[in-house]
């Protein structure tokens, strides 16, 4: 298992003036690579053959290592190669989706940007809810078992699945009926029933603020806000209600893309306090708390209450809307700042102040 001593000894062997920023080729990799290049780093992409076209058309990776599956990043020869390149890995949604947090924490002996101890929170919804409520955030109710459902509930699979296989129900009967339908459509498997998380459905609009917790500057910054574009739920409004009823639609929430959002300004103070408080609580749970990007997933109701239903303790793909610029990154840094670049800037500044070990935990 990797610990601070292992990381320190790996860094000892690194040529710190020749660092390479590396990541798996998917999710937010172009964002990460572009930012790394703009801050003067070399880049390495671990890429599946079928995706190689992306890094040919957008040649942002100095080195492309082709693999059959992302799990190969756990192989010793590949890790050795990454260490030879003086690589710092940037984790994103594909790390947790394709590798599992246990493997990441225990099997990956390459310095990784962020606080690994917080990655497992992403997979464990109960611990996550505990963290967010202790940070003073307003959360939707959760229901232990289908029999407890007494209102509109969203049924979710665990982990970073990007909303696929989610469904809405409003009673125990409708839960079992919809679950069978989802299995029938191949969106879920029978065995998934024990992994489903039942959460009160909050009626409102979704708002996903993207934060950056800087250890170097000792500050939590707001760099962007997006909302999601999901299939088929975002297409359903094009079908008149009568036809919806006739075809018994049961749309899911598969993420297809993200849309930028400028939030009503009077909501920003609360959003900023939420970001600060989540980091403060994280610092108590797993010091030094959040390191680098994190995102709160929220719903804002018609009486302007903000409900937080999830946190991602790493870069989110929604920050891709900010590549080049986003209103909030612009307000803070001027043109040309975005999450991928902010990560690289933190690594550069930590290196300059001899504090690299404090951001690779
Ligand atoms: P991918 O490499 O596109 O398969 O994404 C890896 C994981 O991140 C999957 O679990 C996706 O559902 C999730 N993901 C990818 N893009 C987004 C996005 N724009 N918003 C939220 N989740 C995403
Ligand atoms: P997630 O993958 O958890 O980010 O959620 C995917 C989709 O479900 C997003 O469109 C969210 O807005 C929606 N969603 C998730 N949880 C809730 C909730 N408790 N209330 C309302 N919408 C939700």
Task: Please spell the DSSP secondary structure of 137-183, one letter per residue.
Answer: -B---EESSGGG--S-EEEE-SSS-TTTT-EEESSHHHHHHHHHHHH
Average pLDDT over residues 4-30: 95
Average pLDDT over residues 207-228: 98
The share of the chain scoring above pLDDT 70, in percent, equals 98
Average pLDDT over residues 60-74: 96
185 φ, ψ (degrees, to nearest 5):
-85, 0
Q: Pick the atom of ligand 2 nearest to 199's CA.
A: 19
Residue nearest to atom 12 of ligand 2 (CA): 206
The full set of domains in the chain, from first to last, is 4-114+351-359 (3.40.50.20), 125-137+204-336 (3.30.470.20), 142-200 (3.30.1490.20)
pLDDT-based confidence at 35, cuts 50/70/90? very high
pLDDT of 159 above 60? no
Residue nearest to atom 19 of ligand 1 (CA): 317
pLDDT-based confidence at 20, cuts 50/70/90? very high
The residue written with tokens 């933190």 in the block is 346
H/E segment holding residue 209: strand 205-214
Query: What does the CA dihedral 238, 300, 195, 162 come to, rounded to 10 degrees?
Result: 60
Instruction: Kindly give, in sequence order, each residue whose CB lies less than 8 Å from that of residue 148, ignoring residues fewer than 6 positions away.
Output: 172, 198
Site to probe by mutation for ligand 2, drawn from 228, 231, 232, 259 as the one with most ligand atoms within 8 Å of Cβ, is 228
Better-predicted residue by pLDDT, 125 or 339: 339
> What pLDDT sits at residue 102?
79
> What pLDDT sits at residue 4?
81
243 by Cβ neighbours in 10 Å (0-12 / 13-18 / 19+) ranks as: exposed
Task: Please spell the DSSP secondary structure of 82-113, one letter per residue.
Answer: HHHTTEEE---HHHHHHH-HHHHHHH--S-BS
90 φ, ψ (degrees, to nearest 5):
-110, 115
Reduced to 3 states (helix: H, G, I; strand: E, B; else coil), residue 311 is strand
Cα–Cα distance, 280 to 211 (Å, whole number): 13
Residue nearest to atom 10 of ligand 1 (CA): 161
List C-alpha distances in Å: 130 to 74, 80, 121, 134, 169.
31, 38, 10, 6, 24
> What pLDDT sits at residue 311?
94
> What pLDDT sits at residue 161?
61
Beta strand 153-156 with 63-67 is unpaired
Reduced to 3 states (helix: H, G, I; strand: E, B; else coil), residue 187 is coil
Average pLDDT over residues 277-285: 95
Residue-averaged pLDDT of the chain: 93
Reduced to 3 states (helix: H, G, I; strand: E, B; else coil), residue 251 is coil
H/E segment holding residue 227: strand 219-232
Cα–Cα distance, 225 to 329 (Å, whole number): 10
Where is average pLDDT lowest: 71-85, 127-141, 237-251?
237-251
Where is average pLDDT lowest: 2-16, 141-155, 296-310, 347-361?
2-16
Cα–Cα distance, 24 to 5 (Å, whole number): 25
Site to probe by mutation for ligand 2, drawn from 96, 141, 142, 163 as the one with most ligand atoms within 8 Å of Cβ, is 163
Give the total residue count for the chain.
361
pLDDT of 148 above 60? yes
pLDDT of 160 above 70? no
- Find the 299 Cα to ligand 2 centroid distance in Å: 8
Residue nearest to atom 17 of ligand 2 (CA): 201
Better-predicted residue by pLDDT, 80 or 161: 80
pLDDT of 30 above 90? yes
Where is average pLDDT lowest: 14-23, 166-175, 179-188?
179-188
In a 13 Å sphere around the CA of 272, the CA atoms on its Cβ side amount to 11
> What pLDDT sits at residue 248?
75
């Amino acid at each position: 298992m990797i610990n601070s001593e292992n990381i320190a000894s790996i860094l000892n062997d690194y040529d710190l003036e020749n660092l390479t920023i590396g990541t798996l080729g998917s999710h937010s990799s172009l964002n990460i690579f572009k930012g790394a290049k703009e801050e003067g780093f070399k880049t390495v992409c671990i890429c599946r053959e079928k995706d190689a076209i992306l890094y040919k058309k957008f040649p942002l990776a100095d080195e492309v290592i082709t693999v059959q599956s992302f799990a190969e990043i756990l192989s010793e020869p590949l890790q050795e190669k990454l260490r030879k390149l003086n690589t710092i890995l940037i984790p994103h949604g594909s790390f947790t989706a394709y590798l599992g947090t246990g493997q990441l924490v225990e099997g990956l002996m390459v310095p990784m940007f962020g606080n690994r101890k917080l990655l497992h929170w992403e997979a464990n919804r109960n611990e996550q809810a505990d963290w967010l409520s202790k940070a003073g955030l307003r959360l939707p109710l959760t229901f232990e078992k289908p029999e407890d459902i007494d209102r509109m509930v969203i049924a979710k699979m665990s982990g970073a699945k990007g909303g696929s296989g989610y469904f809405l129900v409003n009673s125990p009967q409708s839960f079992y009926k919809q679950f069978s339908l989802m299995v029938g459509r191949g969106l879920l498997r029978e065995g998934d029933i024990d992994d489903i998380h039942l959460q009160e459905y909050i009626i409102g609009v979704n708002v996903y603020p993207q934060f950056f917790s800087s250890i170097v500057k000792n500050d939590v910054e707001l760099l962007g806000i997006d909302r999601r574009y999901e299939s088929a739920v975002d297409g359903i409004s094009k079908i008149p209600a009568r036809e919806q009823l006739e075809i018994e639609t049961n749309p899911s929430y598969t993420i297809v893309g993200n849309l930028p959002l400028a939030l009503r300004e009077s909501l920003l103070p609360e959003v900023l306090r939420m970001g600060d408080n989540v980091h403060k609580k994280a610092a108590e749970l797993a010091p030094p708390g959040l390191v680098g990007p994190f995102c709160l997933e929220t719903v804002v109701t018609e009486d302007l209450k903000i409900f937080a239903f999830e946190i991602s303790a790493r870069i989110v793909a929604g920050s891709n809307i900010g590549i080049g610029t986003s209103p909030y990154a612009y307000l803070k840094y001027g043109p040309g700042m975005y999450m991928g670049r902010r990560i690289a800037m933190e690594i550069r500044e930590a290196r300059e102040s001899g504090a690299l070990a404090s951001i690779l935990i």
